[in-house]
A and B are shown apart, each in its own frame.
Chain A
């Protein structure tokens, strides 16, 4: 029974993915079809056009086996034995350095934004301009 529910819900996700791809092809967008579909589903969920019940088991299941879905693509690395040479090492160094730089910048920036947002919220509360709960 559970398997049928999950399969049917994955079919729904497939339909969304198909619509996204169709939009992508029709308007020649640079954004991948599946991301268009993600946004579309998110909007449909928020507007209650699609009830969460219709997709939640299928979505949770797919996300839980996400790693498995990458494997055939990662196996494709076997076509690039050159990765074990100096080129591969340079590639790894590039990604490592960039990750360090980006974590440092984004961590600091986010902390800064947070303090700013907090300060603005505090000011607002002092001025009694708004009373909406945080």
Chain B
């Protein structure tokens, strides 16, 4: 009984802190106030202050996490809504996303090896350009760690959305399609919200690229790890 009550409290803590931080972000939309960053920080501080280990927190937390599976399945819905769009630009989208997925995974793996990062960490950040729920599964499948995977995904997303406009200018990428694909398949959800600032077409491109990149990435991940001995 006590166990159930404790689990319930942990779920409540997660939801309440999340709602409060989302409200804060709505008022002040700075990238460092993203709800996922602030909520995580606040919850960690509370857990450390109350001497609750992560294992105990997860007694409640796992219930929230269990919704991630259906949430990934739910991504089929936006993809379905944009199926005509996907068919119209099939060659461009698939080609662009494939290049993005390969260059993202290979470059992060090679750089990590060069800098002497340990094996488990490399496997965790290989799927850094996939959307979070998928990145977690891919990282775990490869033998990496889920929390580290999210850490990598967050950095790629936030930083990618910030730096992308400069790269586009420097590399002379002016087409909405090129920009949308680059944003969606490297900086996933954050990149897609950045793409919305450009145009409707860039936004649609980016959201289709994000979902497609997640699908392609799950196939590519194990192949690239095997090819490059990461």
Contacts and interface: CB of A to CB of B under 8 A. Distances in A.
B77 A75 contact: no
A30 B222 contact: yes
A8 to B, nearest CB: 12
The majority secondary structure among interface residues of chain B is helix
Interface of B: 14-15, 18, 22, 35-36, 39-40, 43-44, 47-48, 54, 57-58, 61-62, 64-65, 67-80, 83, 88-89, 91-92, 95-97, 99-100, 103-104, 107-108, 111-112, 115-118, 121, 125, 128-129, 132-134, 136-138, 141, 146-148, 150-152, 154-156, 159-160, 163-164, 167-168, 170-171, 173-175, 177-179, 181-183, 185-187, 189, 214-215, 218-219, 221-222
A134 interface: yes
A23 interface: no
Instruction: Give the bracket for the number of chain A residues in contact with chain B.
Output: 35 or more
The majority secondary structure among interface residues of chain A is helix
Contacts of A63: 71, 74-75, 77-78
Most buried by B among A20, A83, A91: A91
A2 interface: no
B126 to A, nearest CB: 10
Contacts of B168: 107
Nearest to B112: A94
